[in-house]
Amino acid sequence: MASVRQFQVTFDCADPERVARFWCAVLGYEPPSPPAGFGTWDAYWQSCPEEERGAWFACADPTGVGPRLYFQRVPEGKVVKNRLHLDVRVGTGLVGEERLAALEAECARLLALGAVRVRLLTADGSNESCLVMQDVEGNEFCLD
């Protein structure tokens, strides 16, 4: 039986390019080049039927280590808490005040990108502190 070596994380959203570009800025990912024969994504989308314009967008880790992220437009909005979320690992190996400082610094950077701070979960003896946030369309993620 073959084992899976790569996977992609897919987001349902209203504005795929906006959400993708937010995650590019968060993770240092890059969007792909426009399809062959097109100088820009706008030129490509203009060549598509109107109902398909902006229907998806993607981005990838330029180092090839992280998973590809794919964003697809869906008609319904987000209603309830995510059943799956990303942990953005900014405090790995840090504890106490040093960890909190790293989380707060990254939180400030992401707020400027359009993220929303939801709540700080403080260390409880079993788990270190983390910050719950939302992306530009309300999808929860954690600064861990």
Nearest to 57 by CA among 92, 107, 28, 22: 22
Q: Specify the pTM.
A: 0.88
- Cα separation, 39 vs 36, in Å, equals 8
Supply the DSSP string of 49-88, one letter for each residue.
-GGGTTSEEEEB-TTS-SPEEEEEE-SSPP-S--SS-EEE
What's the confidence (pLDDT) of residue 26?
A: 97
Could you tell me whether strands 86-88 and 8-13 are parallel, antiparallel, or unpaired per DSSP bridges?
unpaired
Q: Do 104 and 94 meet the contact criterion of CB atoms below 8 Å apart?
A: no
Instruction: Give the mean pLDDT per block of 10 residues along the chain (144 residues).
Output: 80 94 97 94 94 94 95 86 87 92 96 97 87 94 94
Residue (of 136, 133, 138) closest to 108 by Cα position:
133
Task: Indicate the residue type of 92.
Answer: T
Q: What is the pLDDT of residue 1?
A: 67
What's the confidence (pLDDT) of residue 50? 92
Per-residue pLDDT, 82: 77
